[in-house]
Amino acid sequence: MRGFLIIDEDDLTKEMWSIPTPEWTKNIFNEKEYKLFIDSIKNLYENTDRAIILNVGCSLFKGMSLRGLDNFLCDLYLDKKGVSRLFDKLLEVYLATLEVTLKGVGEYVDILVFGDDLGAQNGPLISPEIFKELFKAQYKKMYDLVHNISDCKICLHSCGSVYEFIPDLIDIGMDALNPVQTNTANMDPKKLKKEFGEYITFWGGGCDTQLLTFGTPEEIKMDVRKRIAIFSSGGGFVFNQIHNILANVPPENVIAMFEAVYEYGFYK
């Protein structure tokens, strides 16, 4: 059976994360809220010396929340035309949102963070062939828009084992990768740095979160020093632990991680 993916406009609107703002609550297509959105980011730009990072999401895996994970993964193989129609719908909103966003705050924002978890623990969540066929061109449309109308850098948050996608992501304009989950398959730090360090910034991979949870402070310091030495060689590294710090991580281990970063001299 072909063409069975039905796009419900109401569900699409309800599920769409189309409003990129720190609070994820402002409607940038509303004049009053758009001004508040711009003013808040402009204020950060003018009154801090930090990079301004805006999370825009723009996930193509939105189909997962619309269809369910099992159905969506099956759709990628059994109903490619339907998936393409869904992606076209998503892109209509994403491109319009990105354009309005960058028109308002493009001069203040340094980095846009996109998000799609393409990897699992033991390998890619989808095949590289499906990525090239259905995903790559859609990402490129968004990345091209950003690079064509702004100086913003593009950081992709994609968990898990994403090694096989990195060459294609570099090809379409990804500038940085996060969280660099080196405790998954094919994500060895030395291998990543050697093959891709010339082309992208690694934003993460700085401390193994399993070790952060169960290791000793000294073990954590040794791990952080080793990883900084690998990833920071020649530049192109933003320190961050592999993934989120959860509630069961001992506070002394978090302190040890940051002490190691400053002792190494990575941040002044």
Residue 8 is predicted with a pLDDT of 67
Domains held by the chain: number: 2
Write down the pTM of the prediction: 0.87
Indicate whether 228 belongs to any domain.
Answer: yes
Q: Are residues 253 and 125 in the same domain?
A: no
Same domain, 136 and 221: no
Residues 72 and 147 grouped into a single domain: yes
For residue 2, being part of any structural domain is answered with: no
- Final residue belonging to a domain, choices 156, 179, 203: 203
Q: Is the pLDDT of residue 241 over 60?
A: yes
Would you say residue 261 has pLDDT above 50? Answer: yes
Q: Which domain holds residue 59?
A: 9-203
Q: What is the CATH number of the domain that holds 116?
A: 3.20.20.210
Q: Where are the beta strands (DSSP E) in 180-242?
A: 201-203, 237-238
Question: What H or E segment, with its residue span, contains residue 111?
Answer: strand 111-115
Query: Tens of pLDDT along 224-236?
Result: 999 999 999 999 9
Q: Classify residue 4: in a domain, yes or no.
A: no
> Pick from 203, 221, 240: which residue ends a domain?
203
Alpha-carbon distance of 226 to 22, in angstroms, equals 33
Please, are residues 122 and 78 in contact by the beta-carbon 8 Å criterion? Answer: no
Same domain, yes or no: 191 and 258: no
3-state secondary structure of 128: helix
Give the pLDDT band (50/70/90) at residue 5. low
Residue 61 in domain:
yes
Which strand (E) or helix (H) includes residue 154? strand 153-157
